[in-house]
Amino acid sequence: MSWFPARAVIDDAAIAANVRSLAAHAPTAQVMAVVKADAYGHGLVPSARAALAGGAAWLGAAQVGEAIQLRRAGVVGPRILTWLYAPGAPLADALALDLDLSVAAPWALEEVVAAARVVGRPARIHLKVDTGLGRNGLTPDQLSELLPAALRAQAEEAVEIVGVWSHLAFADEPEHPTVRAQEQVFADAVALVESAGAHVEVRHLANSAATLTAPRAHYDLVRPGIAVYGLSPVPQLGSSADFGLVPAMTVEAELATVKPVPAGHGVSYAHQYVTPRDTVLGVVPLGYADGVPRHASGTQDHVGGPLQVGGRRLGVAGRVCMDQVVVDLGPDATEVAGDTVVLFGNGADGGPTAQDWAQAAGTISYEIVTRLGARVPRTHVNAEGQQ
């Protein structure tokens, strides 16, 4: 799509600065900037380059295809870990591009070894341990069973065991008892692998929340994701600014229609909102097809998702539609078609943020930025020196 009446403006300098701030929170560890899911909706390759400009030593991409895309785009300097794949994934392609692979199941070790033999080089692997999240990863019993096979493969120069890692279930609640319990299971797993003779380069457990709130979990490498993009992973404990982070994404659109309507006029589907007085309505050409959450619709008694228009903080009036939302601009509105509406940004001028939209929709800021639709163009600004 060559033209669209809205955009997401990504501040690459903010991403770089956020990485520096995260590194300051974890001074004993390297930083892996997680760029999965199109860099949390911010644009995979330019966001990765911005994170590297800020000092990230590693990049993390969940899907193998994402990691391959980074290498083929010329991101060749850092180590890149990818971890989520099913049988039949293009692991030989990944190894040929010098990607690190996670091993989270016995079958995965078999496929990684086979791919390494095809490529003719050892695979750098990180053993993923399920320490209590109940998602991807080897249970402690599976780790014990798999470890001899992994060490045999290492002796045969099919793999190099370079990492052990896991993921926390309640990192956003630092005092939750599961955090300590998982930390202990992880420490035991690391001890098991190292005592068996593997000399790992990195042990990593901390996501964004643990990077900011749990220094004991930093180990050799931290893996911040949402915080790289300036959003707080623990909004109940502190805002982005409290942690020295700056939201990198601003989503804005041009008003498509501005028109006066009388009191009592229904607005959008099912007339959940009816104008309480003579007023002016504006149409914003973004809707749930673009990632605007329908759960942030407005009603007669409840202001919907926040919008900034002409320096005023307003809200969605009526239901969010597929391609548009409506805003009640008020009886004295002076806006015209083409004027800018900000859905969310860094909040520095008092405007709405992704966290404000998350609260309006009953979700988390992660979902607000990652669900931004593909037809909304991403414009990157303020790039620092990048590879």
Active-site entry in 229, 259, 269, 273: 269
> Known catalytic residue: 36?
yes
Determine which one of 36, 40, 128, 229 is catalytic: 36
- Which own/partner contact pairs does 232-237 have at CB distance under 8 Å and 24+ positions apart? 232/355, 232/365, 233/171, 233/172, 233/207, 233/208, 233/209, 234/172, 234/174, 234/209, 235/355, 235/358, 235/365, 236/172, 237/174, 237/213
Using CA atoms, how far apart are residues 175 and 381, in angstroms rounded to an integer? 38
Question: Is-catalytic flag, 40?
Answer: no
**Residue numbers annotated as active site:** 36, 269
